[in-house]
Amino acid sequence: MGLKINKEVLKQIMKEILNYIFSIDEYGSLSVDVLSSENTVTDEIDVSTKTPPVVILTPPSGKKISTRNVYLGANSDAGEITVRFKNTGKIIGKVYCDHFKQIRLDSVKIDGEKDEPIEITWSGLSSGAKIFYAIRYKIISG
């Protein structure tokens, strides 16, 4: 003995659920915006006016940062730049400026701990150097 459900009613309920979950537009096309749930932080640091380390991203209280993508660039001919989680020291990205001017890591999913910020640090950079960074991330439950 089972519950009998009208097929048309069931179709309508399923359509509404799928529209809610997947953002189906009025033409029936699936609207997928992967970046809609992600954020990006970018900035430039003039190393002649800042002292390392510099906190560049802090999660909301009780949450974690989960990285997705990292770009680091500098106009220095020497030294190192490191982006890492502050408390655990987990390295997210690193540039050895005597070999590379930039690094792009397209798929870097590294989760920090609850309430753990991301910092950038450097050493041995050329006088007057500048660092540019871009980090794509999600905020996740702690």
Is residue 10 predicted with pLDDT exceeding 90? no
Sheet holding 102-105, edge to edge: 39-46, 130-141, 63-74, 102-105
Q: Within this chain, do residues 86 and 132 fall inside the same structural domain, yes or no?
A: yes
Is residue 1 predicted with pLDDT exceeding 70? no
Q: Within this chain, do residues 1 and 39 fall inside the same structural domain, yes or no?
A: no
Q: Within this chain, do residues 21 and 68 fall inside the same structural domain, yes or no?
A: no
| pLDDT tens-digit readout, 63-72 | 999 999 999 9
| pLDDT tens-digit readout, 83-115 | 999 999 999 999 999 998 999 998 899 999 999
Q: Which CATH number characterizes residue 132's domain?
A: 2.60.120.1330
Report the distance separating Cα 46 and Cα 18, nearest Å.
Answer: 48
C-alpha angle 11/17/22, rounded to 5°? 120
For residue 97, give its domain range: 35-141
Q: Within this chain, do residues 88 and 125 fall inside the same structural domain, yes or no?
A: yes
Is residue 16 predicted with pLDDT exceeding 90? no
| pLDDT tens-digit readout, 22-55 | 666 667 676 666 667 789 999 999 999 999 999 9
Q: Which helix (H) or strand (E) holds 72?
A: strand 63-74
pLDDT score for 31: 66
Report the distance separating Cα 103 and Cα 31, nearest Å.
Answer: 32
User: Mean pLDDT of all residues in the chain?
Assistant: 90
- Residues with Cβ within 8 Å of residue 88, at least 6 apart in sequence: 112, 113, 116
Q: In the Cβ-directed half-sphere of 49, how many Cα atoms lie within 13 Å?
A: 5
Tokens 């996740």 identify what position? 140
